[in-house]
């Protein structure tokens, strides 16, 4: 959920995600995007603008409906030691209402997306809400929820932004299907070794209302392309998930 620190996540992820936030976004040509007229004359200017840019990119990615002018005024007042016009309790109450409204909006948007997606050619829907499309059929063994699998995968937000990819790391991942999100536990056993599927996973089968900030927003529907490479029987011993895997429960 959105926390009182959410607007500062740009600062918290500045070291690791400044480039990521820009590189993962869809490329825009100079003709397609407005160019900022701000002048950055030294390192202090660049850091100041970069922090603000990170905050804005995060808020935009999470589609948070905030008043930009008041957001900037809040930062300026805090840095300037100006007393807040609201109490902590008033802020908490407003934040709770805001979180509830954003949660309802996200869930409604997910529902509309899945309804439209279900009508597309080749997309199949399961009673749980999980949707999938066969990109390539396999001919090997099917895993069970108790097995460990080896797979290549790419995880995306509905916008198309990639948040995790074994392809980018240059090696497949191994993990027990009993230790990942519900959408994987249900979906991967549909596949045979050698198959490649695309899955649309509702938020309740992924990370739910908490999400995994700042990477995965609250109540986010997730999209995965998964290529099943091998199945390791559950009695072969537990394998630890790859260190960078972001699919743990």
Task: Decide if 164 is catalytic.
Answer: yes
Q: Which entry of 11, 163, 204, 232 is annotated as an active-site residue? A: 163
Q: Which of 181, 201, 216, 226 is catalytic?
A: 181
Respond yes or no: is residue 181 known to be catalytic: yes
DSSP 194-232: T-EEEEEE-GGGTTTTT-BTTTB-TT--EEEEEEEEEEE
- Choosing from 13, 55, 153, 216, the catalytic residue is 153
Is 98 one of the catalytic residues?
A: no
Judge whether 17 and 54 are in contact, CB under 8 Å.
Answer: yes
Active-site pick, 13, 164, 175, 216: 164
- String of DSSP letters for 62-107: TT----HHHHHHHHHHHHTTPPPSS-HHHHHHHHHHHHHHHHHHHH
Q: Cα torsion for 215, 144, 114, 108, to the nearest 10°?
A: -60
All residues at 6 or more sequence positions from 34 whose CB lies less than 8 Å from its CB, including other chains: none
Is 175 a catalytic site residue? no
CA distance 151 to 175: 9
Select which of 62, 147, 207, 226 is catalytic. Answer: 207
- Would you please indicate which residues are annotated as catalytic (active-site) residues? 153, 163-164, 181, 207, 224
């Amino acid at each position: 959920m959105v926390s009182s620190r959410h607007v500062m996540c740009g600062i918290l992820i500045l070291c690791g995600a400044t480039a990521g936030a820009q590189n993962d976004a869809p490329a825009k040509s100079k003709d397609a995007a407005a160019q900022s007229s701000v002048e950055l004359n030294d390192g202090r200017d660049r850091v100041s603008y970069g922090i603000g840019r990170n905050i804005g990119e995060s808020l935009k990615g999470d589609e948070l409906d905030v008043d930009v002018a008041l957001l900037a005024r809040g930062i300026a007042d805090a840095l300037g030691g100006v007393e807040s016009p609201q109490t902590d309790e008033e802020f908490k109450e407003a934040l709770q209402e805001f979180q509830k409204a954003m949660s309802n909006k996200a869930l409604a948007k997910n529902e509309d997306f899945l309804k439209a997606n279900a009508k597309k050619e080749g997309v199949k829907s399961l009673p749980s809400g999980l949707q999938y499309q066969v990109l390539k059929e396999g001919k090997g063994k099917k895993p069970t929820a108790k097995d460990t699998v080896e797979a290549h995968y790419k995880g995306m937000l509905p916008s198309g932004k990639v948040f995790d990819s074994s392809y980018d790391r240059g090696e497949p991942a191994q993990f027990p299907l009993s230790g990942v999100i519900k959408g994987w536990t249900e979906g991967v056993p549909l596949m045979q070794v050698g198959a490649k599927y695309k899955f649309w996973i509702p938020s309740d089968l992924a990370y739910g209302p908490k999400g995994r900030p700042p990477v995965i927003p609250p109540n986010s529907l997730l999209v995965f392309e998964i290529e099943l490479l091998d199945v390791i029987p559950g009695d072969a011993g537990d394998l630890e998930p790859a260190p960078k895997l972001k699919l743990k429960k």
